[in-house]
């Protein structure tokens, strides 16, 4: 770490340099630095930002709610859309609607995220003026109560749609494939032979079994989303973790970078634990 | 009047080069309490026949022609909504892979209950549950398994659960499609004895689809022999054993290994089943028959009566010579 601190320190005099190194504990052996770091994490202390001198814990906890808001909204929407469309396409496999949906979602999947974001800003933000193009809320407007909620929602719409377009395809494709697989199972035939309606067969018998691989995809996405929305958050200047990470990298603010990665790791692990709790609800074979 | 009348049932599968004529002109009657065996080698259309009788053929399959008359109503002409009311209530099927026919996500009792609640909506929850428990006992499974998930059951138990499920709405006809394939002989015997007993007690019509000659001859009172999508001989079990007429029936029984007579010469039938995609109009057994003559190559013989209760599709028999 101390080799890559950057140009600022190169310009300092040797006393100043010694002072900075001393302050951040960078003059100690690497192993000791590592132990100090782990020790502080356990106390909830992620160190201080080189740039703003504020505690990293504060900076991260200021940004995390926005990212969670963005990614949870995205996950809920793209799961609903992906699962519904995937089920529909699988049920109508090989028919026109299936082919059309497949093409749409593969097209979505192959578009670069920053490009979609920029098109949205240019068209719906700048030209049509429907949505705000910057930030997560109009801080200066001093909205209160319901107005504030509406304001936040309006700011959320464009980044969310962009993220949904990016993540819905993998959910759709997984759901469709998994559903096609399940629809070929003998118990589906059995359900049909029992005289159950198509709707009942589709939703009670097929969907529940087909959802299992989708939960994996969704939860993996959820974990990556916290860090993975970097591009979207940067394009929309959304004050989340992704943007914080981007800023920290450009500023060579290592404690903040470490703090971000630490939070992303926690989120990925948390998402996996949630997935592990959901599996047994869907499939009694998983205990 | 027969319980179930199947007339000229014909099912094709669409392929890129034309129709695969998997089932051609299947006709038979089934009386109440009758047990009909349908036997033939793999790919001869047995399962297609079973699913066609339930009108459960899905794309790329298509029922081209025929009637399945149950209680004076033709299942083939019904639309989906009408059919759904008849399925399971009047005609039920134990599918080939009963092992996989239970949904892994639901308790087995619930899956039986589902059928009962669907077809007897007026029945109270308690009555329906009691009925499921009674059915489980009937097939020799402890009622505590009502709350068991399918993965906790053995293969034989699953099979019996499926039988309980098939009986759940008191159907008039049950089609068992290789229901006991893959089970060990003891369980197979148990299950077949159970099915036979229930069929006789309740006056059900039972159709047993199988390739196991011993088993079919042991429990059925009538047997239909299928070859390449067609019924080639339909008669009583006694006639099949004592007086088989069609060369294929004879070949089939001479290829059977006899446990009492190890010195018996086992002969196999040379050749393979003909392609069923756009087949030529000749006897479908022509290439493998050892008694063919020029007539057999001209036109496919139809199933005709040669005596009471004995129908054969062969020019060597009856008035099939035109």
B306 in any annotated domain: yes
B140 in any annotated domain: no
Q: Which residues of B touch A187 (CB under 8 A)?
A: 100-104
Average pLDDT, chain A: 84
Nearest CA in chain B to A279: B105
Task: State percent of chain B over pLDDT 90.
Answer: 43
> Does the pLDDT at position A197 exceed 50?
yes
Residue B69: φ, ψ to 5°? -100, 120
- Across the interface, of A187, A209, A282, the residue whose CB is closest to B101 is A187
**SS3 label, residue B59:** coil
> Does the pLDDT at position A6 exceed 60?
no
- Across the interface, of B88, B100, B104, the residue whose CB is closest to A193 is B88
pLDDT at B165: 92
Q: Which residues of B touch A192 (CB under 8 A)?
A: 56
Q: HEC string of B23-52?
A: EEEEEEEECCCCEEEEECCCCCCHHHHHHH
A33 in any annotated domain: no
Number of domains in chain B: 1
Q: Which residues of B touch A285 (CB under 8 A)?
A: 104, 149, 151
> Does the pLDDT at position A4 exceed 60?
no
A91 in any annotated domain: yes
pLDDT at A146: 81
B151 — contact with chain A (CB < 8 Å)?
yes
A82 in any annotated domain: yes
Mean pLDDT of A119-148: 79
pLDDT at A90: 94
> Does the pLDDT at position A103 exceed 90?
yes
- Across the interface, of A190, A196, A282, the residue whose CB is closest to B101 is A190
pLDDT at B108: 93
Task: State percent of chain B over pLDDT 70.
Answer: 95
CA distance B111 to A21: 69
Question: Tokens representing B81?
Answer: 């909504």
Q: Are B182 and B99 in contact (CB under 8 A)?
A: yes
Q: Please indicate whether residue A137 or residue A228 has the higher confidence score (pLDDT).
A: A137
Number of domains in chain A: 1
pLDDT at B42: 83
pLDDT at B208: 93
Residue B235 exposure: Cα atoms within 13 Å on the Cβ side: 23
pLDDT at A9: 61
B158 — contact with chain A (CB < 8 Å)?
no
pLDDT at B148: 92
Mean pLDDT of B59-87: 91
Q: Which residues of B touch A193 (CB under 8 A)?
A: 54, 56, 87-88, 92-93, 95
A216 in any annotated domain: yes
CATH number of the domain residue B246 falls in: 3.40.50.300
> Does the pLDDT at position A7 exceed 60?
no
Q: Please indicate whether residue A178 or residue A20 has the higher confidence score (pLDDT).
A: A178
B256 in any annotated domain: yes
Q: Which residues of A touch B100 (CB under 8 A)?
A: 185-187
**Which of the residue ranges A18-32, A198-212, B88-102 would you say has the lowest mean pLDDT?**
A18-32
Q: How confident is the model at residue A249 (pLDDT cuts 50, 70, 90)?
A: confident
**Which of the residue ranges A3-7, A192-196, B61-65, B153-157 would you say has the lowest mean pLDDT?**
A3-7
The CA distance from B61 to the nearest CA of chain A, in Å, is: 14
Residue B163: φ, ψ to 5°? -65, -45
A4 in any annotated domain: no
B110 in any annotated domain: no
Query: What is the C-alpha R_g of chain A?
Result: 24
Q: Which residues of A touch B47 (CB under 8 A)?
A: none
The CA distance from A167 to the nearest CA of chain B, in Å, is: 28
Mean pLDDT of B306-310: 87
What ipTM does the predicted assembly reach?
0.85
Average pLDDT, chain B: 87
CATH number of the domain residue A172 falls in: 1.10.3720.10
pLDDT at A187: 92
Q: Please indicate whether residue A144 or residue A198 has the higher confidence score (pLDDT).
A: A198
> Does the pLDDT at position B153 exceed 50?
yes
> Does the pLDDT at position B321 exceed 60?
no
Nearest CA in chain B to A197: B84
Residues whose CB is less than 8 angstroms from the CB of residue B195 and which lie 6 or more positions away in sequence, other chains included: B163, B174, B176, B179, B206, B208, B219
List the domain range (segments joined by +) for residue B240. 4-90+171-312
Q: Please indicate whether residue B116 or residue B280 has the higher confidence score (pLDDT).
A: B116
The CA distance from B94 to the nearest CA of chain A, in Å, is: 9
Q: How confident is the model at residue A1 (pLDDT cuts 50, 70, 90)?
A: very low
pLDDT at A3: 45
> Does the pLDDT at position A2 exceed 50?
no
Question: Tokens representing B171?
Answer: 């159907």
CB contact under 8 A, A195 and B103: no
Q: What is the pLDDT of residues B255-297, one digit of tens each?
A: 776 667 667 677 777 777 788 888 888 888 888 888 888 888 8
> Does the pLDDT at position A142 exceed 60?
yes
List the domain range (segments joined by +) for residue A131. 56-282
pLDDT at B300: 86
Q: What is the pLDDT of residues A254-281, one digit of tens each?
A: 888 888 888 888 888 888 898 889 888 8
Q: How confident is the model at residue A8 (pLDDT cuts 50, 70, 90)?
A: low
pLDDT at A97: 93
Q: Please indicate whether residue A286 or residue A188 has the higher confidence score (pLDDT).
A: A188
- Helices and strands: H and E segment counts in chain A: 13, 0
Q: Please indicate whether residue B80 or residue A20 has the higher confidence score (pLDDT).
A: B80
B215 in any annotated domain: yes
> Does the pLDDT at position B223 exceed 90?
yes
User: Sign of the CA dihedral B277, B280, B281, B282?
Assistant: negative
A10 in any annotated domain: no
- Across the interface, of A187, A192, A282, the residue whose CB is closest to B56 is A192
Total Cβ atoms within 10 A of residue B232: 26
């Amino acid at each position: 770490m101390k080799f890559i601190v950057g140009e600022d320190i190169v310009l300092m005099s040797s006393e100043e340099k010694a002072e900075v190194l001393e302050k951040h504990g960078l003059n100690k052996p690497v192993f000791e630095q590592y132990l100090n770091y782990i020790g502080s994490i356990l106390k909830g202390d992620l160190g201080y930002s080189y740039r703003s001198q504020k505690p990293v814990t504060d900076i991260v906890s200021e940004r995390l709610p926005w990212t969670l808001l963005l990614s949870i909204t995205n996950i809920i929407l793209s799961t609903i859309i992906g699962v519904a469309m995937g089920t529909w396409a699988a049920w109508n496999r090989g028919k026109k609607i299936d082919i059309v949906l497949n093409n749409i979602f593969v097209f979505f999947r192959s578009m670069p995220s920053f490009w979609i974001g920029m098109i949205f800003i240019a068209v719906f933000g700048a030209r049509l003026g429907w949505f705000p193009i910057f930030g997560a809320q109009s801080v200066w407007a001093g909205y209160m109560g319901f107005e504030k909620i509406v304001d936040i929602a309006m700011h959320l719409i464009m980044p969310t749609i962009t993220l949904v377009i990016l993540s819905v395809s993998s959910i759709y494709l997984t759901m469709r494939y998994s559903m096609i697989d399940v629809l070929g199972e003998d118990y589906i035939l059995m359900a049909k032979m029992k005289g159950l309606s198509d709707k009942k067969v589709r939703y009670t018998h097929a969907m529940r079994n087909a959802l299992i691989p989708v939960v994996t995809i969704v939860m993996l996405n959820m974990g990556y989303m916290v860090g993975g929305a970097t591009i979207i958050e940067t394009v929309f200047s959304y004050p989340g973790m992704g943007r914080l990470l981007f800023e920290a990298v450009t500023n060579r603010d290592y404690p903040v970078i470490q703090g971000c990665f630490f939070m992303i790791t926690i989120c990925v692990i948390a998402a996996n634990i949630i997935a592990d709790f959901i599996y047994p609800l869907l499939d009694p074979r998983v205990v | 009047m027969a319980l179930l009348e199947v007339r000229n049932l014909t099912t094709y599968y669409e392929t890129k080069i034309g129709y695969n004529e998997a089932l051609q002109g299947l006709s038979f009657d089934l009386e109440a309490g009758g047990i009909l065996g349908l036997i033939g080698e793999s790919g001869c259309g047995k399962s297609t026949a079973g699913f066609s009788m339930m009108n459960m053929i899905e794309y790329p399959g298509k029922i081209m022609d025929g009637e399945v008359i149950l209680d004076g109503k033709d299942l083939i002409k019904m639309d989906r909504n009408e059919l759904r009311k008849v399925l399971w209530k009047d005609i039920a099927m134990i599918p080939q892979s009963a092992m996989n026919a239970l949904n892994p996500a639901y308790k087995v009792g619930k899956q039986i209950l589902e059928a009962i609640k669907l077809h007897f909506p007026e029945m109270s929850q308690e009555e329906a549950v009691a009925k499921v428990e009674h059915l489980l006992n009937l097939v020799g499974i402890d009622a505590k398994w009502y709350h068991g998930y399918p993965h906790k059951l053995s293969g034989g138990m699953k099979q019996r659960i499926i039988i309980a499920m098939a009986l759940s709405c008191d159907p008039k006809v049950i089609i068992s499609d290789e229901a006991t394939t893959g089970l060990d002989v003891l369980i197979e015997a148990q299950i077949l004895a159970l099915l036979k007993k229930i069929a006789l007690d309740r006056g059900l019509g039972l159709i047993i689809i199988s390739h196991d000659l011993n088993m079919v001859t042991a429990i059925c009172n009538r047997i239909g022999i299928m070859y390449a999508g067609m019924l080639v001989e339909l008669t009583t079990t006694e006639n099949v054993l004592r007086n088989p007429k069609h060369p294929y029936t004879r070949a089939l029984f001479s290829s059977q290994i006899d446990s009492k007579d190890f010195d018996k010469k086992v002969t196999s039938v040379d050749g393979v089943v003909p392609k069923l995609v756009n087949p030529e109009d000749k006897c479908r057994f022509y290439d493998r028959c050892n008694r063919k003559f020029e007539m057999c190559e001209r036109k496919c013989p139809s199933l005709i009566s040669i005596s009471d209760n004995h129908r054969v599709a062969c020019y060597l028999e009856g008035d099939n010579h035109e």
